[in-house]
Structure 1
């Protein structure tokens, strides 16, 4: 992350900062903050294990002040021989009075002794070429220096025809596993397919790839988890899939209401969850003071399409992805005219292509809503949010979100790239496969053949984009010559071809050249029902622009026989789900940008194994789609619309989210235990704790339907989660994140919620005695369920807050947990409303703090009881309702 007052420019040292009185305070770290930061660190140098030289002349990586609470966040990057050390950062956070409230250190001790000489063997141009080779990218062509700078300061090259963005290159040191600091060129490359955004460390002598960071976060593993959870079952059939909500009709015509958007609005997760509504003037006056279509900070819209200061949403079915100096080669963008009326038809049973205006409008609306809501809760211009123009003058700007709808780069997925401040993020939303597909044929005499099962090709256009597709069928044989023998007969028709003789892509390309609209390839191998997923590279650079499907030999033979008897017309359709209508997924993707920008220096600080990016993003998805009537115990799935599940489905995670621990049992102890061994599943554990926190605060302060407000437990929770990211340090683990939230509550609320926060995290195994271990290891943690002694002793920690009884009300059984420690076994008693003990047992204190103790209530009469625990710390109790 470069500093907030230059863009890939000079690194300012303490001496140079003090010598530049003309720089405004908004453009530079306040000298008093930097001076106090260095004084604070030097006073603790021995405790930090650093030498005087280690703290000499650091670079200011970033600095900003939160206007609401006055906290200044200062980030210093270590330098050796004038060269920055990648990932070696010290954070110092000061309150309004200049007191240090938090600090994190990842400087390399005695760095000068383990560093190579600062003389590179490769030139910057050679480093770019070496990075491209190592990352399996084409060799750069016509590379030009766009922005000069010394090797240590960094420079910027043109795209070289291989990168979506200009290529920054900077000489740096990289800490290797053996403790050595290797001299590297840090090269940032954004491949043209936008599937990765590489920040690569290239050995400055050999050109070898030593390390890389990917700024793109993808959800593909989530869909794979869904498939595993369904245990190989097919996607739901048309009969099994839920219909769109009854209150979501197609829009008959445009209403022309000024500044309006027909969308599934804030808190409505998808077409399955509620009605599409015409929303007027939705921009928040503080977060987007000139509206969503402004770019110059003067009243009046610069764009009448879905583009503005915070985001540009557009269709990208052809995977264009190309951006040069904010000039896009983008697909369709709906135009709201001078009225800014974005009211377009939507028909649930039509193709994604026919609904593209409605989909892009919804994507634009939700990106702006995410911007405005989170800006009011701490993701501000100063804190590196996503805007073209930063109206306050703080921060770099030039980094609004490129939101790509119906992206042709994949399926069953979505991703978000969050590069350094001043570089544009990109959100790619894909289509999601369903089993709702049909291929039938009309024969002479009103006879229908089919439906046939088929497999879509991995190349060409998705059939869902042009469904329904109807037309006469023409047999074109193997189709391995260009032009085809009967090319004239194929124009505007559907081509039937036989497998064999040449590649699938060659067949389809030949049919496309003849004007065919769809290709049906029949298998030529007898006695098989296996459908082939046709793949391969297009025979030329223009690609393949029509859809193709594969059918069995038996079905193909039926079709050939019918063609021999007369004219046959085909009707083909696929109804994919459009991720642009799953607002939980949109919020989730945007959330990756929030947490990447807020953690540490703002880029590359969530690359460790125990990082919680997926958990934060799920929390944002849940939070943004919570209604005032919701309750925390209700199971919530992520991505149920995209994955063709009902609103009560489990979604794309291993478990639904719920405060009911009989529904969601996840704790810190699950981390590293299959299937919780990768980022998506690990994130579920973290989100489970955040979701508990949200509802615990709602239970205390109520729910505020004004999601831009500061009151209400839901708004307090979001603010704590966002601000907590600022205090947790680079490459945090779960306990770092917990501590960041506690620190945020201390600063924002005077620690008013400390006991509640501890209770929530202790419940999920992140209690006072929990041990994090290395944040780059997900198997060395120790879960614990206890509360700190100070919390237990405080008046804020009521007896009931040390005791968890769930579910409550209970039916057949209830689980009891206690967070207070006991030096002896604990006696559990269940007491009826007459004061009679109806159950009694003794359990080890460790069991109560861990998995808990289960009590049977099946034989008890319905009514009100008291769960009473007695241990060395005293007696605690809680009311229990039993219902049958």
Structure 2
């Protein structure tokens, strides 16, 4: 059988789909350019969601006195049985408490075997039931709880049908409620390859694949590329941007199932209320909404496009900061921490087009285990008004507030509270937005922050970020007279812009740095030092403490290889060895003795046998008369053989 080309290419990581496993007529029902996603949607058994109920009790539903002293687990089981009027078994799966409620998650069971898709959840507040949901099913005719098929045979069937190998995860027995009303005893088997990961439900009596959970979303988003500033630079369709090292189940997985909307393990974007997410324009994983800049943000496809772009950008920042150290153990934002440390249940909740404000955005960072909340507002700086959800500079800036607040002080969210520390927070956020905009090429360009939302080509800060002192003259001494955290932050971000430029000039540029933390190029080194320094500094750091944290981070990771580069760059903006902190904030431009530069004269060695002018357009050997790593130089102009040159040489 000739499979469609797209299908062949998608399955090659493991094996081609065996002809025997394909339904009859598959070659007639799929077009020649069909994709693996088309095959999945058409033929592979998906996840069946039984009819469900959900109720909220505004004033809370009180329990009988006899239940008052029971544990949350015992109470949840009893309440579920009473509310549903069922005599079947109910098993407690998991639960946790927050500062506002207790939550419990349960499953229907038979003969002590839980159901995959007949589950319940409830919320308890102040000893009362505040919400309850259930997808329990009627049990009339249930198959034997003793399997007829061996586990090994079931694994072979799962591998064959899904064209993925068994990944070794322990196989379980559960019941599965089917769409036709019947119930199946199933072997629960995980199969996985590079691009696919399923939990497959094989009928333990018939051997039929009756359902599956797709752990990985293969998604398409119309969004503004993370390396571009805003919708003013255009949006495009972006396929599968998720980084599996950081988001192993993709961006749309929450629990057992893939959600066809802007809700997942890391981020949830919505308008008005959390349930008002943007749904897939084509189920389950295509989000193709066109933003029309000629219309107000609130009409047409614009609200959906805004939620999708915010979802894409915030997840992208989650993924590349994860690569560089903002992991579960470092107090990041995830619903599921995959038992890798930290506290789970805290994805970022982003409120797009929040009408409670204008011309701003904010990010609230509670301690690890509680969701960060981001509010994005519409800007009235132009007509039509501009949506900050379509401004990547602002989105990255806000997400970075979560990073710096969590990584400074051990995940408490309490350690960027002084004015100077809050100013540093603003600086880190601008610097991260700057970093994303520099990833298109090795050429370091000026960065006008949030130029789109502010409707100003110079950005919303006093100066664009630039190494050119004529464009951005900020120095450390201005902290003393700066009003507010944003003005203070500009000074720190200016220094970090210079650090980035110096590192790229010294070590080069890697276009894949976002997903390649092993790179030794300057843009990767910068991001490592950025995230490595945050947990080093003390609670509520100052500029000079933050500077020292960068120096120590370089010592820890690179054995001080960039020590003098960092000292010279910070000193050039007034944060040298002789700088002073509060209350004077005296600028200092000195560097350690080993980092001082001296001017040396050296002459050109014998270039060619002709005693006449020669064009030096390649590296030429020099004799500097001193011990130095400098052993060649390049010039592009005509010079005489006996010309002398001057250069600045590092002492070390």
Q: TM-score, normalised by structure 1?
A: 0.43
Query: Matched residues in 2 for 1:722 and 1:670: separation?
Result: 26
Out of 448, 469, 489, the residue aligned to residue 661 of structure 1 is 469
Taking structure 1 as reference, are residues 598 and 651 closer, same or farther at Cα in structure 2, changes over 3 Å only? same
| 1:462-490 per-position Cα deviation (integer Å, ceiling 9, x unaligned) | xxxxxxxxxxxxxxxxxxxxxxxxxxxxx
Three-state SS of the structure 2 residue aligned to 1:403 is: strand
Report how far residue 156 of structure 1 moved: 6.8
Report how far residue 617 of structure 1 moved: 0.2
State the partner residue of 1:276.
235
Q: Quick check: 2:343–2:369 contact (8 Å CA) kept in 1?
A: yes
Gaps of 5+ in 2: 1-58, 63-67, 72-96, 103-122, 127-216, 601-637
Is the counterpart of residue 604 in structure 1 residue 414 in structure 2? yes
State the partner residue of 1:306.
262
Three-state SS of the structure 1 residue aligned to 2:375 is: strand
Query: Matched residues in 2 for 1:635 and 1:704: separation?
Result: 19
Report how far residue 601 of structure 1 moved: 2.7
Out of 281, 290, 296, the residue aligned to residue 351 of structure 1 is 296
Is the counterpart of residue 262 in structure 1 residue 262 in structure 2? no
| 1:164-220 per-position Cα deviation (integer Å, ceiling 9, x unaligned) | x9999xxxxxxxxxxxxxxxxxxxxxxxxxxxxxxxxxxxxxxxxxxxxxxxxxxxx
Is the counterpart of residue 754 in structure 1 residue 560 in structure 2? no
Taking structure 1 as reference, are residues 418 and 380 closer, same or farther at Cα in structure 2, changes over 3 Å only? same
Report how far residue 157 of structure 1 moved: 5.5
Q: Quick check: 1:156–1:166 contact (8 Å CA) kept in 2?
A: no
State the partner residue of 1:406.
353
Taking structure 1 as reference, are residues 147 and 735 closer, same or farther at Cα in structure 2, changes over 3 Å only? farther
| 1:8-60 per-position Cα deviation (integer Å, ceiling 9, x unaligned) | xxxxxxxxxxxxxxxxxxxxxxxxxxxxxxxxxxxxxxxxxxxxxxxxxxxxx
Gaps of 5+ in 1: 1-140, 149-154, 169-256, 321-327, 437-574, 774-778, 801-831, 837-863, 869-875, 879-884
Residues 387-402 of structure 1: pairs in structure 2 closer than 5 A? 387-402=334-349
Three-state SS of the structure 2 residue aligned to 1:286 is: coil
Q: Quick check: 1:867–1:877 contact (8 Å CA) kept in 2?
A: no
Q: Quick check: 1:615–1:685 contact (8 Å CA) kept in 2?
A: yes
Taking structure 1 as reference, are residues 435 and 400 closer, same or farther at Cα in structure 2, changes over 3 Å only? closer
Taking structure 1 as reference, are residues 387 and 789 closer, same or farther at Cα in structure 2, changes over 3 Å only? same
State the partner residue of 1:342.
287
State the partner residue of 1:725.
534
| 1:543-572 per-position Cα deviation (integer Å, ceiling 9, x unaligned) | xxxxxxxxxxxxxxxxxxxxxxxxxxxxxx
Query: Matched residues in 2 for 1:400 and 1:412: separation?
Result: 25
Query: Matched residues in 1 for 2:572 and 2:408: separation?
Result: 25
Taking structure 1 as reference, are residues 799 and 587 closer, same or farther at Cα in structure 2, changes over 3 Å only? farther
Report how far residue 345 of structure 1 moved: 2.7
State the partner residue of 1:614.
426
Is the counterpart of residue 640 in structure 1 residue 600 in structure 2? no
State the partner residue of 1:652.
460
Q: Quick check: 2:221–2:312 contact (8 Å CA) kept in 1?
A: yes
Report how far residue 159 of structure 1 moved: 7.4
Q: Quick check: 2:574–2:589 contact (8 Å CA) kept in 1?
A: yes
State the partner residue of 1:481.
none
The structure with higher relative contact order (CA 8 Å, sep 6+) is: 1
Residues 736-815 of structure 1: pairs in structure 2 closer than 5 A? 736-773=545-582, 779-792=583-596
Three-state SS of the structure 2 residue aligned to 1:285 is: coil
Query: Matched residues in 2 for 1:686 and 1:585: separation?
Result: 17
Is the counterpart of residue 705 in structure 1 residue 506 in structure 2? no
Three-state SS of the structure 1 residue aligned to 2:487 is: helix
Report how far residue 403 of structure 1 moved: 1.0
Out of 244, 249, 255, the residue aligned to residue 285 of structure 1 is 244
Report how far residue 373 of structure 1 moved: 0.7
Report how far residue 352 of structure 1 moved: 1.2
State the partner residue of 1:578.
387
State the partner residue of 1:626.
438
Taking structure 1 as reference, are residues 614 and 799 closer, same or farther at Cα in structure 2, changes over 3 Å only? farther
Query: Matched residues in 1 for 2:552 and 2:218: separation?
Result: 44
Query: Matched residues in 2 for 1:167 and 1:753: separation?
Result: 54
Residues 99-178 of structure 1: pairs in structure 2 closer than 5 A? 158=100
Report how far residue 415 of structure 1 moved: 0.5
Taking structure 1 as reference, are residues 258 and 289 closer, same or farther at Cα in structure 2, changes over 3 Å only? closer
| 1:759-778 per-position Cα deviation (integer Å, ceiling 9, x unaligned) | 110111111121224xxxxx
Out of 246, 254, 260, the residue aligned to residue 295 of structure 1 is 254
Report how far residue 782 of structure 1 moved: 2.1
Cα RMSD of the aligned pairs, angstroms, is 3.4
Taking structure 1 as reference, are residues 401 and 167 closer, same or farther at Cα in structure 2, changes over 3 Å only? farther
Three-state SS of the structure 2 residue aligned to 1:671 is: helix
Q: Quick check: 1:418–1:425 contact (8 Å CA) kept in 2?
A: yes
Report how far residue 302 of structure 1 moved: 2.5
Three-state SS of the structure 1 residue aligned to 2:250 is: coil
Query: Matched residues in 2 for 1:669 and 1:279: separation?
Result: 44
State the partner residue of 1:98.
none
Larger helix proportion, structure 1 or 2?
2
| 1:513-556 per-position Cα deviation (integer Å, ceiling 9, x unaligned) | xxxxxxxxxxxxxxxxxxxxxxxxxxxxxxxxxxxxxxxxxxxx
Taking structure 1 as reference, are residues 640 and 422 closer, same or farther at Cα in structure 2, changes over 3 Å only? same
Query: Matched residues in 1 for 2:279 and 2:644: separation?
Result: 60
Report how far residue 834 of structure 1 moved: 8.3
Taking structure 1 as reference, are residues 415 and 166 closer, same or farther at Cα in structure 2, changes over 3 Å only? farther
Three-state SS of the structure 2 residue aligned to 1:402 is: strand
State the partner residue of 2:403.
594
Report how far residue 788 of structure 1 moved: 1.0
Report how far residue 781 of structure 1 moved: 2.1
Three-state SS of the structure 2 residue aligned to 1:420 is: coil
Report how far residue 700 of structure 1 moved: 1.2
Three-state SS of the structure 2 residue aligned to 1:726 is: coil
Q: How many matched pairs?
A: 408
Taking structure 1 as reference, are residues 835 and 429 closer, same or farther at Cα in structure 2, changes over 3 Å only? farther
